[in-house]
Structure 1
Amino acid sequence: MEKIKKHLNWFIGIGVVFLLALSLSLFNYFKSEENMPITSQLPEMNEPQVKIPETPIKERKKETKEVQVDIMVDVQGSVKNPGVYKMRVGDRIVHAIQKAGGFNEQAELRSVNQAMKISDEMIVYVASKGEEYEVQRGEENNRSQTSDVININSADEALLQTLNGVGPAKAQNIIAYREEHGPFTSLEQLMEVRGIGEKTIEQWKDKINFQ
């Protein structure tokens, strides 16, 4: 009986050791599964990348660089510093006169169209007071003159006298009114000038414009 008990205890001991070993092996196996990185189980997904082409630096500089062209203008007459000056395309006569130091005391301001755009090799001449002169006109005024239509807001004394019934005195009255009140805008406004009436403007309606 004692032998049987010994053998039974021996078998039980072996069984306990086996169960412990089995439990330890299973524990280590599941623990290693839990610690395994998830990313290693999934295939990598590479998203396509869209590349935006960049404009080369040299081309960007070309796009932002403004084109500037120099022109030469000869400013003469009643200005403080007559001479040839370098100007920019798009500048006007007033800018050229400023480059020449401005008008002197003898300058006849009405002898130049200060709003006119300048061009390369152009001569800007400022007449002196009492000197005969002819105002340089822009392209629009030249078209008006060739079509026998006068711009009443820019015409000088000599050109105004080509209108029917206008002499030196009446031409000066038109210019004086223009300088004091600004450009004319209608035929009726011309009647405010001394010496001009309804009959006069009736004769002028096809001979003048206001632009």
Structure 2
Amino acid sequence: PVAYDPAPEARTTPPPGGPAGGGGGGPGVATAPAGNVVVHVTGAVTRPGVVTLAPGSRVTDAINAVGGASTDADTEQLNLARVLTDGEQIRVPRVGEVLPDPAPQASGAATPKASAAPGKPGDGGASGTININTASASDLEKLPGIGPSLAQRIVEYRDSHGPFATVDALTDVPGIGKAKLEGLREQATV
């Protein structure tokens, strides 16, 4: 089989060990001519993968190059008009999935730095904190003073209102007051 080739300006790279064999730019292997951008598109798309696009391509071009968004995609969280940069990852969320705020980056799309590692939802990294914008209800229960029903309320509030801008915004969730917030502040992050 040959790699999907949607257009001359957008090519996908076959998975390692594919028909290209030992590499070297043989048939089915995408090459990135000087100036092109190579991006990895994951999440709610038809055929996730790595694509090579022309300079100046946008997020929408990358999604289209992998066959488009799937029916359960929530593209409203992405800036589809943003110009791509070489080497980035674009994660297309599913309906109900909340991507972390990419504010520290100028990208407008989630990157590996902006999302939790697979299999570790809500993991805040070496500091041991829990990201309240990505944690599951069971992960939120690890915070002091947060039981199953309050954890579920946090998830429901986040799903209906969007990600929390700050840890202090948890006081908007019914059942979390200033005292409870102070008890969990050190272990929570956004």
- With the length of structure 1 as denominator, give the TM-score of the two structures: 0.40
Q: Whose radius of gyration is greater, 1 or 2?
A: 1
Higher helix share: 1
